[in-house]
Amino acid sequence: MKLIGGDLALQIWAIPRLEQHWLNYLSLLFPLRALAANQHPECLV
């Protein structure tokens, strides 16, 4: 990941939002995975 001039400012602005995006994604993913495991126990990893 290159940090050059304005790109650095953009990344400083974007990184917390990216992390929040992943937290939102994971919070959706885990309940869906649990639901899928309840529906199909053999799929649980």
Q: Which domain holds residue 33?
A: 4-43
Per-residue model confidence (pLDDT) at position 2: 53
Per-residue model confidence (pLDDT) at position 31: 78
Query: Considering its fold, how many domains does the chain have in total?
Result: 1
> What are the C-alpha distances in Å from 30 to residues 5, 26, 37, 38?
38, 6, 10, 12
Per-residue model confidence (pLDDT) at position 43: 53
pTM, two decimals, is 0.34
Tell me the longest C-alpha to C-alpha distance in the chain.
Answer: 51
pLDDT along the chain (45 residues), means of 10: 62 74 79 72 55
